[in-house]
Chains A and B, each alone.
Chain A
Amino acid sequence: MTSMPGTPLREEAHNRRRLLMERSRPGRTGVTLPASDVPPQLMPEQAMLRDDLQLPEVTEGEVVRYFTHLSQLNFSIDTNFYPLGSCTMKYNPKLNEAVAATPGFALAHPGQPEAQVQGCLEAVFTLQTYLQEVSGLPSASLAPLAGAQGELAGILTLRAALDARGDGHRRKMLIPDTAHGTNPASAAMAGFQVISIPSTSGGDIDLDAVRAEADEDLAGVMFTQPTTLGLFDRNAVEMCRIVHEAGGLVYGDGANMNALLGRAKLGHFGFDVVHMNLHKTFSTPHGGGGPGAGPICVTEALAPFLPGPIVVQRDDGSYGSEMPAQSIGRCGASQGNFGVLIRALTYISLLGGEGMLNISGNAVLNANYLLAKLRPLFELPYDRSVMHEVVFAARKRAGATALNVSKRLLDHGFHAPTMYFPLVVPEALMIEPTETESKETLDAFIETLEHIDAEAATDEEFLRGAPYETPISRLDEARAARRPELRWRPAED
């Protein structure tokens, strides 16, 4: 980390971060291209063409040095422990990258006839069957391009099933107050009315609140199991029963599936739709904000409504893709983020069924170990054994807010936990270690938090100024929002 504000290096740091357009010099280029090998053709009329294209003119070496420098300003799984709750930042195997880059996969075109892309179709079909097995649900669509799109596709599938049985008036969607923000946002996009449901003091969904909404307008519930409190919700089975009895359907957010691999199947609890984040549970890299993939698995009753296309195996053993009979349609131009799907397939194939149990077992053990060791430092709002993550409440000491503790962690090379979420826990610190971290790393993290706690006891102000060792200090977010500068502009503007 280069962080020496006020030293001569500061100017150099500034130069190394100059934007592409600031580096541009007329006449430089970063590429060699062939001349045309066909006879020149009549050009379009001049009025159709542009002469104002502004793009940087830089050399390949400069591009490499610039982006390598930028990369070094990032924390990542490859360089740091990333205990970011609910994001399942586990190690991403490099084999997955190598397989996705295989020319036969990377250069296959989504518009090719089925007979030409049997390899891709078989890969998708195999992953489909694996995900059905993991979720305990018999049908799947791998079309959704990310988790939030999987949510939207999932509840639109649910809605289509309600509409088809004459329950088009059912528009109330129950969502626990612990849910990810994507749940209510997806429900609103799908045309549902969002009803927030509280949790009990034990951290489970409040069944009385569910019962109070279980009427003829109930469409269903969007439910995350394990919950964002890191807990296995003990009321989930009964909740599914209540919702079904009232004529509603149950959507399961599989964001926290890592804890359940091989331990339980959401389909068995009564979930009708489940989405999974392949970029969490199945180790495809997050890429600083995607790409992801958000496959959904459903019951037989909901299968006709799935988004498509869906890969099927035909009687002759070949593979094809089809739109389900009453499909809600297409989530995007193609048939899913194949490059992400093939990584997940590689991961599951490498580790096999036993490997899945190994993942969930170690992930849950690691989270409970952190719970046991960090308990003296923070409040524990729900004092139970946890699943994949643990949620503490910070601020046992006045200066040690969730924000300040998180920022100080950065100085020690640890990414911050998820902060101030779930909303029901004030000063929440949501810590998810995953199975790929060693006891030594967890112990170093614990010691660091003890050290920060000691700092907070003696010098509150110091914590408020953190981080100190990062490439840049706290940024003025209010200024960015008040005077939005969203792109480089030439100086004369």
Chain B
Amino acid sequence: MSDLPLTSPFIPNTDDDRAAMLAEVGTPAVEALFGDIPEQFRHPGLALPAPVPEMELRAEMTALAQRNFHAGEHPSFLGAGVYHHFCPAVVAPLVTRGEFLTSYTPYQPEVSQGTLQGTFEFQTLTAQLFGMEVSNAGMYDGASSLAEAALMACRVTKRSRVAVLDTVNPHYVDTIRFYAQPQGLEIYLTSPASPDLQPDTACLISQYPNFFGAFEDSQALVDLAHEQGALAVMSCDPTALAMYKPPGAFGADIATGEGQALGIPASFGGPYVGIFTCRQEYIRQLPGRIAGKTVDTEGRTGYVLTLQPREQHIRREHATSNICTSTALIGLWATMYLALMGKQGLRHVAELCYHKAHYAASRIAGLPGYSLPNNNPFFQEFVVACPKPAADVSAALEQRGIIGGLDVSDRYPNGMLLCVTEVNTRDQIDRLVDALAEIGR
């Protein structure tokens, strides 16, 4: 019909098709199907640009991407919750197979066993990595996962205050406030040196290693929470858990994490996957989807979404969370990464991060004007006190073709949070050290 002039590679209806369909509908034109829209609001005009053909659009988008100064072209020492790790080439083509990429949430398990079994694998591997009893199918990201952990701790304990160590990622703290405050829950910050835990506190939230890269006395923190009848909640870096004692070993009740570290591209902030693990006894308080094992009518093993009476589509305003679409595909990505790495590979990656970061730290500590203000043990990140404002150091590094660390001068004078992972070669680290020496002069 003349009111739909354009052809699109995604729309099969021809003029003839439309004419035949309109005849069946008994309507003269497509436009007539919009008759319920009050006339004064109909066809308001849409000021969007003209279509750009694929060939030109691809070139435009590539040019736009090239305006970024990025880790594909320059050594990066920026972490702060999002990490550049190596990911085997096999993962991307496997996870973006159309059958995974373009399926919906597995509401029809008979034709969704791929997604469901993949989710069950994710739950298995994350629970094992975290040393926890159970895991859900994943949340949006590490921050929202931790926020949901705070809400869950309040439901479990029927208490309404949440204590968060002041060494937790400040964006995570903001996200906890975003979720918890509207429900009348009180969030307060406390120091890891002398944590303030009131009798009505639902949980003590810590980060492992903390935002500044350092380890705290996690056992003491977990024990303190338990003494007060509160839950111990830990937000953990999954890579560190290949090497260090997992949260389950300390007796944590809920442990969350940012799954991005498991080979997921930084992608300017997402999509990522939030890991959410807990004790078996709390499974009916879990937010989000969970895959469970069962059998079909012939006794064959299969998987379904289970414990659904917790969820919004059944319980509506009484649900444990409003979460619906999460990030299943990214969870599958993390699952494939963990499968390929295996127990040896992931441990090796963690040790590479450890040695390279400690090599970098010891060299930088030896530079005139630079020092390491933290004495705690660390994994792959550490704060450096620079001889100049961190923002200036970062800009000077950029001029030398290096992506510097995060400016944490609000916590440490001239502080820069540097991160070194297995993707940083010794040559890159030495370049960083030389550049810092020059900048500090």
Which chain B positions have C-beta within 8 A of A82?
Answer: 104
List of A residues within 8 angstroms of B62 by Cβ: 102, 104
Within 8 A of B (CB), among A46-80: 47-50, 52-58, 60, 63-64, 67-68, 70-80
Contact digits for B257-276, partner A, Cβ 8 Å, 1 yes 0 no: 01000000111111110000
Q: Mark A305-337, 1 if CB is under 8 A from B, else 0.
A: 001000000000000000000001111111111
Contact B270 A337 (CB under 8 A): yes
Question: Interface code B102-126, partner A: CB below 8 Å = 1, 0 otherwise?
Answer: 1111111111111101111101110
Identify which of B54, B104, B425 gathers the most chain A CB atoms within 10 Å of its CB: B104
Contacts of A105 in B (CB 8 A): 65, 68, 267-268
Q: Mark A248-273, 1 if CB is under 8 A from B, else 0.
A: 00000000000001111100110000
Interface centre among B5, B80, B128 (most CB of A within 10 A): B128
A333 contacts B46, CB within 8 Å?
no
Q: Is A298 an interface residue (CB 8 A)?
A: no
Partner of B24, one of A123, A349, A369: A369
Do the beta carbons of B332 and A288 come within 8 Å of each other?
yes
A393 to B383, CA, bound (A): 63
Cα distance A132–B306 in the bound complex, in angstroms? 38
Q: Least Cβ distance of A288 to chain B in Å?
A: 4
Q: Distance in Å from the Cβ of A230 to the closest Cβ of chain B? A: 11
A400 CB-CB contact with B under 8 Å: no
A164 within 8 A of B: no
B382 at the interface (CB under 8 A from A): no
Contacts of A373 in B (CB 8 A): 24
Q: How far is the CA of A53 from the CA of B317 in the complex (A)?
A: 40
Contact check, A288 vs B244: say whether CB atoms are below 8 A apart: no
Q: Are B323 and A146 in touch, CB under 8 angstroms?
A: yes
Given the complex of chains A and B, what is the CA–CA distance between A231 and B106 in angstroms?
26
How many whole Å from A132's CB to the nearest CB in chain B?
10
Residues of B within 8 A of A68 (CB): 94, 97
Cβ of B437 within 8 Å of any chain A Cβ, yes or no, is no
Q: CB-CB < 8 A to B121: which residues of A?
A: 19-20, 488
Taking CB atoms, residues of chain B closer than 8 Å to A5 are: 298, 300
**Given A41-B362, A191-B182, A329-B177, A407:B106 Cβ within 8 A:** no
CA distance A439 to B24 in the complex (A): 12
**Does A189 count as interface, using CB distance less than 8 angstroms?**
yes
B61 CB, min distance to chain A CBs, angstroms: 5
Please tell me if A176 contacts chain B, counting CB pairs below 8 Å: no
Q: Is A8 an interface residue (CB 8 A)?
A: no
Give chain B interface residues in 276-305, CB to chain A under 8 Å: 283, 289-298, 300-304
Distance of A46 from chain B, by nearest CB (Å): 10
The answer to whether A475 and B294 have CB atoms under 8 Å apart is yes
On chain B, the residues within 8 Å of A194 by CB distance are: 316-317
Say yes or no: A333 contacts B267, CB within 8 Å: no
Within 8 Å of chain A (Cβ to Cβ): is B199?
no
Give the distance in Å from the alpha carbon of A435 to the alpha carbon of B309 in the complex. Answer: 34
* Contact, CB under 8 Å: B289 / A476: no
Q: Do A287 and B66 touch (CB < 8 A)?
A: no
Q: Which of A43, A109, A372 has the most CB of B within 10 A?
A: A109
Q: When A53-B129, A148-B325 are in contact, do A95 and B58 touch as well, CB less than 8 Å?
A: yes
- CB within 8 A of A78: which of B98, B104, B108, B182? B98
A38 within 8 A of B: yes
Whether A355 pairs with B134 at a CB distance below 8 angstroms is no
Interface string of A133-153 (1 = CB under 8 A from B): 110100000000111110110
* Interface flag for B220 (CB, 8 Å): no
- The verdict on A107 contacting B343 (CB below 8 Å), with A146-B140, A290-B271, A480-B304 known, is no
A476 in contact with B342 (CB, 8 Å) = no
Residues of chain B within 8 A (CB-CB) of A31 are 88, 340-342, 345
CB distance from A354 to the nearest CB of B (A): 5
A476 to B296, CA, bound (A): 6
Contact code string A435-447 (vs B, CB < 8 Å = 1, else 0)? 1111100000000
- A184 contacts B by Cβ under 8 Å: yes
A112 adjacent to chain B (CB < 8 Å): yes
Which B residues touch A165, using CB under 8 A?
Answer: none
> Which residues of chain B are within 8 angstroms of A340 by Cβ–Cβ distance?
270-271
A102-B65, A119-B66, A330-B174 given as contacts; is B268 within 8 A of A60 (CB)?
A: no
Nearest neighbor of A21 in chain B, beta-carbon distance = B124
Q: Is the CB of A145 within 8 A of B115?
A: no
Please, which residues of chain B bring their CB within 8 A of the CB of A108?
68, 70-71, 266-268
Residue on B nearest A474 in the bound complex, by CB = B297
CB distance from A59 to the nearest CB of B (A): 9
Contacts of B120 in A (CB 8 A): 19, 486-488
Cβ-defined partner of A106 (8 Å) among B12, B244, B266: B266
CA distance A95 to B244 in the complex (A): 41
Considering only CB atoms, which chain A residue lies closest to B326 in the complex? Answer: A290
Q: Which residues of A, 70-114, contact B by the 8 Å Cβ criterion? A: 70-80, 82, 84, 87, 89-93, 95, 97-113
CB distance from B375 to the nearest CB of A (A): 14
A323 nearest in chain B by CB position: B174
Closest Cβ neighbor of A259 among chain B residues: B34
Give Cα A351 to B339, complex, Å. 39
Docked Cα-Cα span, A291 to B267, in Å, equals 13
Chain A residues whose C-beta falls within 8 Å of the C-beta of B346 in the assembled complex: 53, 55
B242 touches A53 (CB 8 A): yes
Q: Are A189 and B183 in contact (CB under 8 A)?
A: yes
A323 to chain B, nearest CB (A): 9
A243 within 8 A of B: no
Roughly how many angstroms separate A291 CA and B137 CA in the complex, as a whole number?
Answer: 13
Question: Which residues 10-46 of A sit at the B interface, judged by CB distance below 8 A?
Answer: 10, 13-14, 17, 19-21, 24, 28-31, 33-34, 36-44
Determine if B123 and A53 form an interchain contact, defined as CB atoms under 8 angstroms apart: no
Taking a contact as CB atoms closer than 8 A, the residue among A29, A97, A331, A481 that contacts B96 in the complex is A97
Given contacts A89-B104, A351-B8, contact A368 B27 (CB under 8 A): yes
B150, CB-defined interface residue at 8 Å: no
A36-B352, A73-B114, A268-B44 known; A369+B21 contact, CB < 8 A = yes
Contact of A348 among B48, B326, B358 (CB under 8 A): B48
Contacts A63-B336, A89-B104, A181-B313; is A98 near B58 (CB within 8 Å)?
Answer: yes
Among A71, A292, A328, point to the contact of B100 (Cβ < 8 A).
A71
B315, B316, B355 interface centre (most CB from chain A within 10 Å): B316
Closest to A28 in B: B342
- Complex Cα distance, B69 from A120, in Å, reads 10
One of B141-149, B159-167, B189-197, B221-229 contacting the partner: B141-149
Q: Is B409 an interface residue (CB 8 A)?
A: no
In whole angstroms, how far apart are the Cα atoms of A122 and B68 in the complex? 10
Give the chain B neighbours of A405 by CB distance below 8 A.
Answer: none
> B82, A110: Cβ atoms under 8 Å?
yes
Distance of A436 Cα from B422 Cα, bound (Å) = 44
Cα A31 to Cα B347 with chains together (Å): 12
- A187 interface residue (CB < 8 Å to B): yes
A92 to B175, CA, bound (A): 31
Chain A residue with the shortest CB-CB distance to B44: A265
| 30 A–B pairs (Cβ distance < 8 Å), ordered by A | A30-B339, A33-B345, A48-B245, A72-B114, A74-B113, A75-B108, A107-B70, A115-B69, A116-B403, A147-B325, A149-B323, A181-B314, A181-B316, A185-B317, A264-B44, A285-B101, A287-B100, A288-B115, A288-B332, A289-B328, A289-B329, A290-B328, A333-B175, A353-B49, A365-B30, A368-B27, A410-B108, A410-B111, A475-B294, A476-B295
Known: A291-B270, A472-B110. 10 other contacts (CB 8 A): A20-B339, A31-B345, A95-B58, A111-B82, A146-B325, A152-B322, A264-B34, A290-B330, A332-B175, A368-B21
Closest 10 pairs between A and B when the two form their complex, measured CB to CB: A334-B269, A104-B65, A78-B98, A287-B329, A289-B328, A291-B271, A352-B51, A30-B340, A119-B67, A110-B269
